[in-house]
Structures are given as C-alpha cells and as structure tokens.
Amino acid sequence: MRKLLIVNADDFGLSRGQNYGIMESCRHGVVTSATALVNGTAIEHAVGLRRSVPELGVGLHFTLTLGQPVGRCPSLTRNGMLGKWLWEMAEAGTLPLDEIAAELQCQYARFIALFGEPPTHIDSHHHVHMIPAIFPLVAECAKTHGIPLRIDRDEVQRHALDVDGVRSSTGFSSAFYGEAISATLFTTLLDEALSREEDSLEVMCHPAFVDKELMSSKYCYPRLDEVEVLTQPALKWAIAERNFRLGTFRAL
C-alpha cells in the first residue's frame, strides 16, 4: 500500500514573494498543501492566487507571534502587535489562555471568511501550538471542527501531551529547513519515515521568491533554494520510487 506524503508550505499570506513561491512549488513541484497566516500582509493576495489552484489544500497557520491579532488580545500584544515575547510569557507561566483560545476562534472564523471554506487542518507559526499550555486549546479546536492537527511527536513525548482523539499524520518533519537544503535532504527524510514504518508523513517547507518583506526575516535566501529543490522533476520520481503518493490532509 502506498504511503501518504503531504508537503506543506507554511507562511501562505506572509508576503507576495512567499505566495508566488508556494504557487510555483505547487504548480510545478511537489507542494500539495499550505497553511495561511490570516493576519498576513499578503493574505488577500494568497486567497486570489489559490483560486487558480484549487487542488492546493489550505489550512490555518495559527499565529501568536507575528502581526496584529484578529481579535482583542491586550495581554498578548505590545503596541497592538503580537511578538516573540510569547515564549517569555510561557516560561513565566503567565499566558492568558482565555485570550489565546478566543484568538484561535477569531483566526479560524477569519479563515472561512477569506477562503469560503474551513481549513484542511491546523498548524502554527513558530510551532506555538506545541507549547504545553497552548496545545490542549488547539487540539480541542481541531477535534471540535473535525480536522487534523500538525503534531510533533518529539514534543509530545517531551511534555507528555495528550493527543487522544487528535487526527494527524503518523510522521512529521521540520528538517527541510536551513542552509543545507537539497534533494538529498528531502529524500533522506522519506527514507527515515520508511524506516520508522510511518504510513503518512508531513514535510514542512517554506518555498518563496525573496521580496522586501522576506528580507527582514532571519530565514530568507534558503527559501529560494527550497523552490529550486521542490520543483525538480526528479524529486517526483524519487517520491514514487519510495512508494509514496502525494496528497493533502483531506486524505487522512
């Protein structure tokens, strides 16, 4: 039986360059899925592009560390903006969980208003949903709406998180990232999944064409390398040779 491979591009809506890179990697490569930042500066642009590629599965990229919140988050924001101080709050045990739960619902509703349909699944920007105090909120949201959730099982084991009843891929890899992007790295991730006998695998990626918005990101030029690798024709052959079929979270 062929195994399911979901190649998910994060940050849909972050910038026009990010959106174009995802579209290129879907139309001419192996990207099958993306997750949208509904508060991103280029989210309407992303919505417009996606209409021409309806086969691209699109999920919610829940964010608590970037941009303006969709709802009211006075305890989470500084000068009206979300930021990476969330991690400091998590370490101090001062996360406003009621605000976070409300913001998740606001972003979910905003997704439907934008795309005209529910998200295929949920993950998060900077993996904030795997913070132990936040995970139960996002897991419950996914279960309530009957959609899968990205699960990093290393974090589950590290923090003894309860994943009972949560749908997800059997395996997840965030390793297709950094300065050493290559087709060899990608196929190595597939081989590792095969060795673990996983019947479904999500590979996270961030393909983009660099623009001014992305030049301010610490992770910038490797996004171009991701586009180059993910659109190599030989990569589809390598995936098929390993008995994987490309798909989206709808196939789970």
Tens digit of each residue's pLDDT (9 = 90 or more) over 236-247: 999 999 999 999
pLDDT, tens only, 26-53: 999 999 999 999 999 999 999 999 999 9
Cβ-Cβ contacts under 8 Å for 195 (sequence gap 6 or more): none
Residue 78 DSSP label: B
Cβ-Cβ contacts under 8 Å for 150 (sequence gap 6 or more): 8, 121, 122, 123, 124, 129, 168, 169, 172, 202, 204
**pTM check: above 0.95:** yes
Q: Which of 138, 49, 131, 132 is nearest to 34 (CA)?
A: 49
- Quick one: pLDDT at residue 141? 98
- Quick one: pLDDT at residue 1? 84
The ranges of the chain with pLDDT < 50 are none
Whole-angstrom distance, CA of residue 78 vs CA of residue 107: 19
**How many other C-beta atoms are found inside a 10 Å radius of the C-beta of residue 234?**
9
